[in-house]
Amino acid sequence: MYNYLGLDNESLQAYLDHIVAFPVVNFRVQVCDLEHQPVSNISNRVLAGQITYDWDGEESTRVLTMSVFDPDYDLGFDTSDIVDGVWFFDRMVQVWSEVYVPALGFVVECPMFTGPVRKFKRLNQVVTLDCSGKDIFARQSWPRFTIPKGTNKATAIRQILTELGETKFRFEATTVQKTGETKVIDRNMTLSPWGYARLLASTFDCRLFYDGAGYATLRAKDPTRPVFTFRDRDGGSVLTEPETSGDFSRIANVVRAEGLKTPNGANPYYEAMVPTTSVIHPSKLSRGGKPFYMGAVVIRDSITTTAQAKSVAQSELADRQNAAYDIQFDSRPIFPLEEGDPIATSIAGIGSTSTLLKFVIGFAPSAVMPIGYKKLVAPQVAKIRRY
């Protein structure tokens, strides 16, 4: 969540309090060109729709699906003659939530989605559109350019997106770290340009995403400062009991971190293992007298020394000793939230903090927002059964 709504802290809190207590909203939907210039307002023609936010989304971190009434073919995505076979994909769709806040005396507009049309379907007078966030431009475009070794990593991220045509940035973080190698961005990469840019951001503890206004946003991770607390009971936004599921596949008891090969052919590396007292030490999980190693490998171009490899391996090992629990519940819509935001929950008297990974906001005057987030839990000796 970022307060680019033009509100001071007191006004922002008044807005949040209001949408929790009185979840009635209007949605403004606009067609624009690829440079964000407005083409038409179609708010009164939208029949249904929803935005899915997913930090780990395979196609995009934000996906908009909506049905629009278009009897006269003036929406601008197809022609009236089906024989033409013409679809126009040089348009984007933008969505804002609009909430009147009596305590403020005006309507607060919150940008929620900006992105191009990816799929189109017509059935008589109704058009169904599937739109992806603007990160799709950097996922599926393959230019060829080079990022020199020693480039500031934040500058490198901006260069990647600029080469792909991006002009709108909201970089709130920077770094002194530099790239450890000359990188050629082209179709031969294992990662897409977007995947590589996000990887760069993660190496200096930042997250890269497109916000609702369509700006490429670079923001420092700060899990210790939740931007919103989901509460149950009176005055809270939580509407249902939480549903939980566990994933133990991410646990590792040994991690190897390594860098790129040096000119002499060697590459710095370090292997970190949990202490022998750990309940997940390989010897504690042995079968037939053989220790069970659950390994993970981290490769980073920023690792140039054994000391750096040791630091990365130990940090990754500390994180990978935790099991991941998925927690889901329904909440009233909190429109300024963004995928990847640090959040807190206070449900049934139990508080915790985590990262907001996935949620959905539907186009309804009084909508419900399904929430999904992960909580990492370390195995406890007392919780492991012994036979």
Residue 384 has pLDDT above 70, yes or no: no
Residue listed under structure tokens 């509100």: 7
Locus of tokens 């000796």: 381
Dihedral of alpha carbons 160, 162, 168, 169, sign: positive
Quick one: pLDDT band at residue 4, thresholds 50, 70, 90?
low
| pLDDT for the residue 245 | 79
91, pLDDT greater than 90? no
Average pLDDT over residues 293-311: 88
Mode of pairing for the β-strands spanning 216-220 and 169-171: parallel
* Cβ atoms of residues 49 and 66 within 8 Å: yes
Buried/exposed code over 166-191 (b: 16+ C-beta within 10 A; e: otherwise) = bebeebebebeeebbeebebeeeeee
pLDDT at 158: 95
How high is the pLDDT of residue 374? 66
Residue type, 307: A
Query: Is the Cβ–Cβ distance between 214 and 114 less than 8 Å?
Result: yes
Spatial separation of the C-alpha atoms in residues 269 and 258, rounded to whole Å: 4
Which of these, 138, 204, 205, lies nearest to 169 by C-alpha position?
Answer: 138
What pLDDT was estimated at residue 85? 41
129 token code pair: 């559109």
Q: Does residue 44 sit in helix, strand or coil?
A: helix
- Rounded to 5, what percent of the chain is helix, strand, coil? 20, 40, 45
Least Cα distance to 165 among 33, 286, 73 occurs for: 33
Q: Give, in degrees to the nearest 5, the angle at Cα 374 between 372 and 379.
A: 150
Query: Does the pLDDT of residue 381 top 50, yes or no?
Result: no
| Section 221-242 average pLDDT | 83
46 vs 33: CA distance, rounded Å: 19
pLDDT above 90 (res 104): yes
Give the pLDDT band of residue 248 (cuts 50, 70, 90).
Answer: confident
Compute the distance between CA of residue 314 and CA of residue 273 in angstroms, rounded to an integer. Answer: 8
Contact 244, 323 (CB under 8 A): no
Q: What is the pLDDT of residue 187?
A: 79
Tokens linked to 45: 């023609």
Q: Burial code of 215-251, b = ≥16 C-beta within 10 A, e = fewer? A: bbbbbeeeeeebbbebbbeeebbbeeebeeeeeeeeb
Give the ranges where the chain is alpha helix by DSSP (H): 9-21, 136-140, 153-163, 193-203, 306-320
Give the separation between CA 133 and CA 64, rounded to whole angstroms. 8
Distance in angstroms (rounded) separating the CA atoms of residues 295 and 317: 10
Question: Residue 387 pLDDT more than 60?
Answer: no
What's the token pair of residue 265? Answer: 């052919």
Between β-strands 269-273 and 350-362, what pairing exists: parallel, antiparallel or unpaired?
A: unpaired
pLDDT of residue 379: 62
Q: Do 138 and 132 touch, CB atoms closer than 8 A?
A: no
> Quick one: how far is CA 238 from the chain centroid?
22
Amino acid at 99: V
Residue 213 CB contacts under 8 Å (≥ 6 apart), including other chains: 4, 111, 114, 168
